[in-house]
């Protein structure tokens, strides 16, 4: 039985990746950072019905010794580093913590792999936010980076460190430069989930408006379920490499609102209000990925369209709120 270690196992991507790997017959280890909220952090895994199938191991990205111990004891075939302080807005309020967890934390995982189990194949969750102030209309693996937030800067450090460990130490280390990927398991602080949750509350009479920030920002949105498959495919390649994972289609926040509200039989214009307090200090206006390399080399292509994604998220949020009402 193949074995995989996932950091960030309780997040959106960690949950879908766990489900996917379990379906492939893997033994899945999940890195669990102990906290006061440890009794509720498995909610996403429970929602997918896989929590009881995962072996949780105590550790922390900021504690190198715990990572070395886990790698030495369990010797996983694959290591997926998905853990991060992943909310861009928070990174301006906590830039040093973001750097320690999102940036240096990835370095700790790489170092633990190098020291304790260099045979493991390593995946780093890089981000389209690294492109930031875009240097090309469509971003590919060769597009220069220009990060516009502490989060993006930390991700860029982790990305280049992954490249460096691959080239310096011969690790099978790959980075997926993932563009925005959403699902019903997306955190409520992210704009797509804030929109679909708002649609649900308005539809059920629990709210009468939805405050948002920059409606003109555009993103390349896909489904997390498609994107975790790409992570796995990268580690099945004979040669490690970096890949942009995206749909190749960009949509504005305003248009996403229109799609989500329309699915619930509502008009976004009647409920969406611009809140200046939700604007970023430095905005990333447009992100549009070029997934050509992933398709050509791995045969990967996004399968879920935006309308289907938005509908799935709206339906899930309506169901959640109806359950609370009852």
So which residues are the catalytic ones?
A: 127, 129, 151
**CA 250 – CA 105 distance, rounded (Å):** 31
DSSP code of residue 145: P
* Residue found under tokens 């080399």: 297
**CA 116 – CA 302 distance, rounded (Å):** 35
Q: Is 177 helix (H, G, I), strand (E, B) or coil?
A: strand
**CA 5 – CA 27 distance, rounded (Å):** 9
Q: What radius of gyration do the chain's Cα atoms show?
A: 19
C-beta separation of 235 from 282 below 8 A: no
**CA 173 – CA 122 distance, rounded (Å):** 5
**CA 85 – CA 99 distance, rounded (Å):** 9
């Amino acid at each position: 039985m193949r074995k995989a270690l996932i950091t960030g196992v309780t997040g959106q991507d960690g949950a879908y990746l766990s489900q996917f790997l379990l379906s492939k017959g893997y033994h899945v280890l999940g890195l669990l950072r102990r906290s006061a909220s440890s009794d509720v952090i498995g909610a996403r895994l429970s929602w997918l019905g896989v929590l009881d199938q995962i072996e949780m191991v105590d550790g922390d990205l900021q504690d190198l010794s715990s990572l070395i111990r886990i790698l030495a004891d369990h010797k996983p075939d694959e290591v997926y580093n998905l853990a991060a302080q992943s909310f861009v807005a928070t990174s301006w309020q906590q830039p040093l913590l973001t750097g320690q967890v999102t940036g240096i934390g990835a370095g700790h995982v790489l170092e633990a792999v190098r020291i304790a189990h260099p045979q493991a194949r390593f995946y780093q969750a890089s981000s389209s936010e690294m492109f930031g102030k875009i240097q090309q209309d469509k971003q590919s693996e060769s597009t220069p980076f220009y990060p516009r937030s502490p989060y993006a800067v930390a991700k860029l450090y982790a990305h280049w460190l992954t490249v460096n460990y691959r080239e310096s130490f011969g690790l099978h280390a790959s980075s997926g430069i993932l563009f925005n990927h959403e699902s019903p398991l997306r955190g409520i602080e992210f704009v797509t989930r804030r929109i679909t949750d708002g649609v649900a509350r308005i539809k059920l009479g629990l709210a009468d408006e939805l405050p948002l920030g920059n409606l003109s920002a555009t993103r390349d949105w896909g489904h997390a379920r498609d994107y975790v498959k790409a992570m796995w495919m990268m580690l099945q390649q004979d040669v490690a490499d970096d890949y942009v994972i995206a749909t190749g289609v960009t949509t504005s926040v305003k248009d996403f609102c229109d799609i989500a509200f329309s699915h619930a039989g509502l008009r976004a214009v009647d409920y969406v209000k611009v809140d200046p307090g939700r604007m970023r200090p430095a905005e990333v206006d447009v992100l549009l990925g070029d997934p050509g390399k992933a398709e050509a080399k791995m045969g990967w292509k996004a399968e879920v369209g935006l309308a289907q994604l938005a509908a799935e998220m709206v339906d899930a949020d309506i169901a959640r709120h109806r359950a609370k009402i009852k």
